[in-house]
Structure 1
Amino acid sequence: MSNTIGISFFVHPALVLILGAMLLPLLRGTARNSAVLGVPILALVALWLLPEGKLWQVQWLDYTLAPLVVDKLSRLFATIFLLMSAVGGLFALGQTSKLEIPAAFLYAGSAVGVTLAGDLVTVFLFWEFMAVGSTLVLWSAGTPGAWSASRRYVAVHLAGGVILFAGVAGQILATGDVGFHAMQVDSLATWLILIGFLINAGAPPLSAWLPDAYPEASWSGTVFLSAFTTKTAVYVLLRGFPGNEILIWVGLFMIFYGIVYALLENDMRRILAYSIVNQVGFMVVGIGIGTEMALNGAAAHAFSHIIYKALLLMSAGAVLAATGKRKCSELGGLFHSMPLTTVCGTIGALAISSFPLTSGFVSKSMVTQAAADGHLQMVWLLLAAASAGVFLHAGIKFPWFVFFQKDSGLRPSDPAPSMRWAMLVFAFLCVALGIWPDPLYALLPYAVDYAPYTAAHVITQLQLLLFSGLAFFVMLNYLKRTPTITLDVDLLWRSVGPAMVRVSGHWLRVVSGGLSQSASRGIVSVSQALSRQRHPDGLLLRSWPTGSMALWVMVMLLAYLALYYLG
């Protein structure tokens, strides 16, 4: 059966970024830097020139694939992914690795490909390219820790890819439809698809890959990693499973799981990695609620989260690049010599805490408002408590221990100009979207009828933040960091699993050796017994009387006759 292609003359933004990734290794100096900044902007222009609708269609076997479909939701996520690529590339201009930025562009382009895919086959293909790109970003750090983490990372994502492939194949066989649209979790295939999506979202217990791998990337690599995998998972959940109630409880578990581990952590980038799990939990709750307000809130929060989380990790990356240290117990007092990094990191911390006049306030509040509108009182209370917990671990703990706690004696300067400009761009967006959210609301998939700055909402949020801040300083002696390591589920495949393999391998060798020796002794015994029968007085060579032979012939004939008549 021949395959046919029907493609209108529209440029696919994902392919622009992927082709740019292939071009970058050939360029040097100013040409390379210009391409790093220009390719994502070119892809962003191509995106906004696209009209809404199915723009590419490909006939494959008996199915019609749609690799390029544009609507408000896909344009929103593709826009922030491309913006992240441009500002992340600016931050990483001084990166010595020649692999990292091309790998990041492949990674980002694949994420854009998922958001613009109108069928499950295209989603799966770009999904796997994302795993390749993100693994290469990890490898590019060039450290033993990054190499080990990348192997664990790719193992988890390959397993997730197999689960997703099985679900996609089952769904296509069951329905005959390859379209990517809303589904109900009512079959094995849709359960497998949901599980595959949740693995990339960082849903516990399979979330430990995120804080295990992301902090092992380079000072700039973690910035790229924070933006695409989990938020692409949020996009596909928004597209594929809106209103599935189970996601409310999955999201709530993610929220508190991330808070607890972030409070326990000493590594500044692991704090922020666990915070990703926590923040994605808010988005998953919104998707589970499923109303237009909740879905708008989840999409808006994903958009603002990419910006403020990248800003936080940029400030952490600047500290790491300048000092070579990651532990909060080894840092402190950096505001003396890194004022710009301190200010930008603090703005990111306020935004993640949903402080008024920041982007987090105008996006996360839509999810909590949707819970209130839906009379989900318990969910609303838990989200309010979680907002206080976020302020504890990311809003105060990260900037306090890294920049303001007792002086560590370190006096690094603010980073290179390209890194400073990248932080300033995202710090500006955090504040600008908080003050004037209308441009963000205009991008959302549904019409927005929501005013974030009501007196009740502002006062409630300030009370939560102020009381959680007071609790932090009251309990400061208990929250001081020590050089400890937190144990997560990844202990199973980092230590317990390999130990079990070694022990089982040892016993397998012991049992195999015992069986081999027993078999050898048995063969020797049989061989010796047969050898004895070949002697003149043995069974095979001794002389048999004629009468005995006649008796045995008669017995055999009688047996044959009996079998013949009985048969």
Structure 2
Amino acid sequence: MISSLPPGFIMVLGALLVPFLPHIIRQVYMMILILISSYSLTLGFGIHSIINIMDYEFILFQSDALTLPFAIIFHIAAALNVIYGAHEKHWKQHVSIISYSGAAIAAIHAGDLLTLFVWWEATAFTSVFLILAGNSTRSYKSAVRYIIIQVISGMFLLAGAVILLLNDGNVLLTKFDINTLHGQLIFIAFGIKAAFPLLNGWLQDAYPEASEIGTVALSTFTTKLAIFCFAKCFAGTEILIAIGAIMTFYPIFFAVIENDLRRVLTYSLNNQLGFMIVAIGIGTELAINGAVAHAFAHILYKGLLFMGMGAVLYRAGTCKASELGGLYKYMPITAVCTIIGAISISAFPLFSGFVAKSLIMSALGKEGLVLVYFMLLFASAGVLHHSGIKIPFFAFFAHESGIKTKEAPKNMIVAMIIASALCIMIGIFPTMFYQILPYEIIYEPYDFSHVVGQLQLLTFAAFAFICLWHFKIYPPELNSTVLNSDWIYRKMLPGVLLPLLKLINKGNQKLENKINSTFSKFKLFFYNYMLNNKVFDRDAGPDTLIVIQIFTVFLVIILSQVYFF
């Protein structure tokens, strides 16, 4: 019976009991849910569960070589999140984390677009509570913007799925042609969740406003689900190479001047996603292995860095570089674990980032993409600056902040030590790590050129930081706000549209009544059209697509009205 259920579903369903359990039992119970869900890893590849609705088959549970590594790391990350958040006494965040993790795990096992859509939206609605748990006016507003953007992503995915269903009679999750309408809609849906350039504002807007345990969970699932979907559906799509290269490049400059260290990590997250997108755009077996390996390693070391900054926030009450420093004396274990995460993300030899990133750089070299190769090389040096050095340096060293605090709670320390150990193990034993990747691989990351080249890059990048810091050229830590693409919909559009709507409402009540009447007529028309033309039948006409697209636009407008008012 359990083998027929989608992996992760037992976690979502089991989350309903979490509020009724005592604190200690609750932690054990959630770990048991994760263990039961991980049973799916033993079932092998193939389709394990299908349901039939209205003569359409929906694949609830399928597994293949691409699914396996994501399923493994998602289960590991879910367990680490439970351990890391064990000090939290209230049940709300625990329910959100276990159901959010389960929804993401179920999503990667979906075999069709409509099943994926259900879990796609479930990840949004379960994760938004982690942002609300920030318990501030900023977090509440950010949560509203976050859920609207995530739902809009789902609307694009649903529109693409419906068009594909009407055209081909199936919605199988397979490789799509970006030159088709449904392919473009699905591409945009994935791109929003992957935080593409100009679509990335929600990432830096929402993640730093979540609770200390919420940000760790958020950094794991949403964007990596998008990476999985791109690898599944758009591998070898060349435009992804350009998009990914831009993603690796521009967040570096934001991260260097950002004061909030958790927000620095979100820019770094955006940068690291770019490496994965470039690899997916290349599309070769080596490149896809590199994208998957990087996603796997990234979940561990980026989660570790967020754990370190979450512990600092929990104890010191702030994550701003201008207010921190000297904490290594009071939080030595947290400092060491954060440094391990920083070394890993910087791709030092013998750490996880090195054995994962080497695959991507080798794939670029084999394809002769010289410009992109050097862009990613520059981005790698930037990673050392903003994540490898800036995060641990300003949090634990730099100037003396005068903050005297305790070490992180024991459960946080345990989670950080486990994540640190995994980062080191992957770096020391890359052959074992490579065995779970989608394609068979014979690759040696520790050859002379790789090791020497990376050490040279890291040495010169570190030397540049030291010089900039010594001569006071490095941007100072200022308590300021860095403007990002979210400013467009967060500030500009409300600033322009709200006064305009108030003017219309005040000066022309007849126009407002006419708009309401038109919208009511549209709803009646749409209902009658759906009823009379049976738009979900296989024989529906092509004009149905126009109606569906118009309705999708109206849904977006309604969501926008909710946001503005």
Cα deviation for residue 416 of structure 1 reads 1.1
Q: 1:344 to 1:419 in 2, by over 3 A?
A: same
Tell me, what secondary structure is at the counterpart of 2:57? strand
CA distance in 2, matches of 1:242, 1:127: 20
* 1:17 aligned partner, one-letter code: M
Q: Are residues 1:457 and 2:453 paired?
A: no
How large is the Cα RMSD of the aligned pairs?
Answer: 1.6
Amino acid at match of 1:405: A
1:5-84 correspondence to structure 2 within 5 Å: 9-44=3-38, 46-84=39-77
Superposed CA deviations along residues 388-437 of structure 1, whole A, max 9, x for unmatched, are 11111111111111111011111212111111000000000011100111
Percent identity, please. Answer: 39
The Cα of 1:154 is off from its aligned counterpart by: 0.6
CA distance in 2, matches of 1:110, 1:72: 20
Query: Could you tell me how far 1:8 is from its partner in structure 2?
Result: 9.1
Q: 2: CA distance between counterparts of 1:469 and 1:199?
A: 33
Contact 1:41 1:83 in 2 (8 A): no
Question: Aligned runs of 1:1-400 on 2, under 5 Å?
Answer: 9-44=3-38, 46-400=39-393
Residue in 2 that maps onto 1:482 = 478
CA contact (8 A) 1:205 1:489 kept: yes
**2:495 maps to 1:499:** yes
Larger radius of gyration: 1
SS at match of 2:8: helix
Once the two structures are TM-superposed, the CA of residue 256 in structure 1 deviates from its matched residue by 1.2
**Structure 2 length normalisation: TM-score?**
0.88
**TM-superposition CA deviations, 1:503-525 (whole Å, max 9, x none):** 21343245427999xxxxxxxxx
- Does the Cα contact within 8 Å between 2:84 and 2:411 map onto a contact in 1? yes
Aligned residue identity for 1:507: L
**In the alignment, structure 1 residue 406 sits paired with structure 2 residue 399:** yes
* TM-superposed deviation, 1:11: 4.3
Q: Name the amino acid aligned to 2:36.
A: L
Which of residues 422, 429, 435 is equivalent to 2:422? 429
Summarize deviations over 1:290-341 as a string: whole Å, max 9, x none: 0000000000100000000110000000000001012100001111111100
Larger mean Cα displacement after TM superposition, 180-189 or 322-331: 180-189
Aligned partners of 1:88 and 1:223 also within 8 Å: yes
Q: For 1:16 and 1:514, how far apart are their aligned partners in 2?
A: 53
| Mean CA deviation greater in 451-460 or 141-150 | 141-150
Instruction: Give the direction of change, closer, same or farther, for the CA distance of 1:8–1:304 in structure 2 (3 Å limit).
Output: closer
- Give the match's secondary structure for 1:243: coil
Q: What TM-score, normalized to structure 1?
A: 0.87
Shift, 1:226, TM fit: 0.3
For 2:382 and 2:236, locate their aligned partners in 1 and report how far apart those are by CA, in whole Å.
26
Aligned to 2:463: 470
Which residue of the partner structure matches residue 558 of structure 1?
none
| Greater displacement, 46-55 / 202-211 | 46-55
Q: Does structure 1 retain, via aligned residues, the 8 Å contact 2:286–2:359?
A: yes
CA deviations on 1:129-167 (whole Å, 9 max, x unpaired) are 011111122223332222111001011111111111111
Equivalenced residue count is 509
Question: Structure 2: how far apart are the matches of 1:129 and 1:425?
Answer: 28
**Structure 2 unaligned blocks of 5 or more:** 513-565
SS at match of 2:50: strand
Q: Which among 490, 501, 508 is matched to residue 504 of structure 2?
A: 508
* Corresponding residue number in structure 1 for 2:551: none
Compute the displacement of 1:214 (Å). 0.5
| Structure 1, unpaired ranges of 5+ | 1-6, 517-567
TM superposition shift of 1:473: 1.5
- Which amino acid letter does the alignment assign opposite residue 379 of structure 2? A
Q: CA deviation at 1:64?
A: 1.5
1:229 is displaced (CA, Å) by: 0.3
| Larger RCO of the pair (alpha carbons < 8 Å, separation 6+) | 2
